[in-house]
Amino acid sequence: MEKQEDFKLNTHSAVYYHWRVWELTGLMRPPGVSSLLYVVYSITVNLAVTVLFPLSLLARLLFTTNMAGLCENLTITITDIVANLKFANVYMVRKQLHEIRSLLRLMDARARLVGDPEEISALRKEVNIAQGTFRTFASIFVFGTTLSCVRVVVRPDRELLYPAWFGVDWMHSTRNYVLINIYQLFGLIVQAIQNCASDSYPPAFLCLLTGHMRALELRVRRIGCRTEKSNKGQTYEAWREEVYQELIECIRDLARVHRLREIIQRVLSVPCMAQFVCSAAVQCTVAMHFLYVADDHDHTAMIISIVFFSAVTLEVFVICYFGDRMRTQSEALCDAFYDCNWIEQLPKFKRELLFTLARTQRPSLIYAGNYIALSLETFEQVMRFTYSVFTLLLRAK
């Protein structure tokens, strides 16, 4: 039964939900679907939602005359535009995404061949965490979409789901009002699905990288550990030669891990940098909004500001947290090479081990924009910057 479960190991299932979303929203053509029909479908959906939805928000922003309204609309517009840019980036890196899937198949096959239950368990744990992250973001977006709908229903006067401009009179036309709200609800659902995948695929890929590093760490620590099976009918020299071959296989596994990190770096660099820029812009805008609406005692607007501030802060924290986990695991992987039983081994074993140690001294990190490290130290710096900006605005009020 255990071997049968190992055979089903598929770490790419960590991004199963994301892949289905990308197929649904026109980025990845599903197998068996006509290319022409899918292109037409993709263009229709993305023109109607990915392009038109943020344009309607931006147009409304240009017609806003008061500062409080400007800050509120700017917060929504920035968030939506950046979310669409992250979504578009998935299309730009689709070749790398397919390369990751192929590489994961090789690494999964290696883990099944080794067949160590602890390695399999570590990989499945990271897959579950990645899928759980997607479900958590999905719950948040479902709650937010539902809240927007309830807010429109309970309001005594007419109001749209989001402040937007459509060039028609919806205040005095029931037909226009209904049609616009139907479009906004459709656009909001599609955007929520897109954003759920865009916000959760960085931590999902970081979980995959962490899981395979953990599996390799366990594999390396077992190098040179004698067992009854390995000692039976085997000379000391034959055993040392076998251990050397184990090291060579682990070095090849390490090269695959490094390759996976390089691809993930290219995939995550732009969206993570966009998230940092978005968070900084939204946090500053929310600070301005909070200060301006506080004078008018508009508690509803204050709550909305706090929700947006918390949301963008959470998105940055998530990618920094999972980036920090991956860095910690890379350090543990480096330590594993020191902890293996190298003392009894052949000179060529020790030589290869020294070369490998020299290449693993620096911990692995993913960088936003190839510059900002995804770590908890970076998150701390972001929060310090936010506090400094808010304090400065408070003094200038």
Distance in angstroms (rounded) separating the CA atoms of residues 168 and 166: 6
Nearest Cα to 219, choosing from 184, 243, 196, 183? 243
If we measure between CA atoms, which residue out of 99, 104, 90 comes closest to residue 21?
A: 90
Residues 6+ apart with CB under 8 A from 184: 160, 161, 162, 164
Backbone torsions φ then ψ of 314, nearest 5 degrees: -65, -40
Q: Measured between alpha carbons, how far is residue 75 from residues 72, 287, 338, 346 in Å?
A: 5, 10, 50, 63
CA 233 to chain CA centroid, nearest Å: 50
- The tens place of each residue's pLDDT in the chain, 397 residues long, gives 444 444 578 999 999 999 999 999 988 988 888 889 999 999 999 998 888 888 888 888 887 777 666 777 777 788 888 888 888 899 999 999 999 999 999 999 999 998 899 999 999 999 999 999 999 988 888 887 887 788 778 777 888 888 888 888 888 888 988 899 889 889 888 888 988 898 899 999 999 999 999 999 999 999 887 664 455 566 888 888 888 999 999 999 999 999 999 999 999 999 999 888 888 888 877 777 776 665 555 565 566 667 777 778 888 999 999 999 999 999 999 999 888 888 888 899 999 989 888 888 787 889 998 888 999 999 998 888 877 877 776 776 6
For 137-149, the DSSP string reads HHHHHHHHHHHHH
CB-side exposure of 367: number of CA atoms within 13 Å?
7
Q: What is the C-alpha separation between 127 and 111, in angstroms, rounded?
A: 14
Q: With H, G, I as helix, E, B as strand and everything else as coil, classify residue 396.
A: helix
In this structure, what are the phi and psi dihedrals at residue 288, rounded to the nearest 5 degrees? Answer: -60, -45
Q: Among all chains, which residue has been given the structure tokens 């899928």?
A: 131
